[in-house]
Chains A and B, each alone.
Chain A
Amino acid sequence: SSELTQDPAVSVALGQTVRITCQGDILSKYYATWYQQKPGQAPLLVLYGDNTRPSGIPDRFSGSTSGNTGSLTIIGAQAEDEADYYCNSRDTSDHHLLFGGGTKLTVL
């Protein structure tokens, strides 16, 4: 099976822009999906497909893919964006799912 690699931790100053990346060979075939998880809560879908946001997700969240790297960008990070972010994709075994190890985002 494949792997998805994320930086363990990233920080951003309030109101600034931050990019969280997810690297894996499978991302050259499938889009990354992104989830936000705050302490004690279930994950929340924030991006999927070719940069699609579910209803209720602010437009400061956007996604992109380049080669085997998927990215989640937050333009104008807010205090409430502080959370763990996980990328996800289908695996080479087509109906299996993979998660990255997660990135802890700190908003300073």
Chain B
Amino acid sequence: EVQLVESGGGLAQPGGSLRLSCAASGFTLNNYWMTWVRQAPGKGLEWVANIKRDGSERYYVDSVKGRFTISRDNAKNSLYLQMNSLRVEDTAVYYCARGLGTTITVDFWGQGTLVTVSS
């Protein structure tokens, strides 16, 4: 059974940092692009970042560029999102998601982890 389980969310102060993790199981992580998508409370979905199968390419939405870093450890079947210089507007549920086949299109989502940025 394919599973993606996010962890690491919680409360952070503006300017603070959090590191999200996503544990993958039921498939071979290094065969897939992986993506982070977020959803602010009561709002729509927003793509945050994605990373190529071997980690050699990474892409970010402009609003997080320079503050967030996506990474992966295929040997540990894990995806990460290091979030620095957090802002109130980063408050959201963060979803880890798997690519469809060899594409960047997302086909499977984790259940998400809530990040709240507040003083």
Contact = CB atoms under 8 A, between A and B. Distances in A.
Interface residues of A, number: 23
Nearest to A30: B105
Given A33-B105, A102-B44, A95 B50 contact: yes
B44 A101 contact: yes
Given A93-B59, A95-B59, A97-B50, A45 B108 contact: yes
Interface residues of B, number: 22
B44 A97 contact: no
A97 B35 contact: yes
B110 interface: yes
B27 interface: no
B95 interface: yes
A12 interface: no
Interface in B71-119: 95, 100, 104-112
Contacts of B47: 96-99
A93 B61 CA distance: 10
A42 B110 contact: yes
B105 A48 contact: yes
B105 A88 contact: yes
Nearest to A98: B47
Interface string B44-74: 1111001000000101011000000000000
Give the residue among B45, B46, B109 with the most A Cβ atoms within 10 A.
Answer: B45
Contacts of A98: 47
A86 interface: yes
A25 B107 CA distance: 23
A48 B45 CA distance: 17
A100 interface: yes
Interface of B: 35, 37, 44-47, 50, 57, 59, 61-62, 95, 100, 104-112
Interface of A: 1, 33, 35, 37, 41-45, 48, 54, 86, 88, 90, 93, 95-102
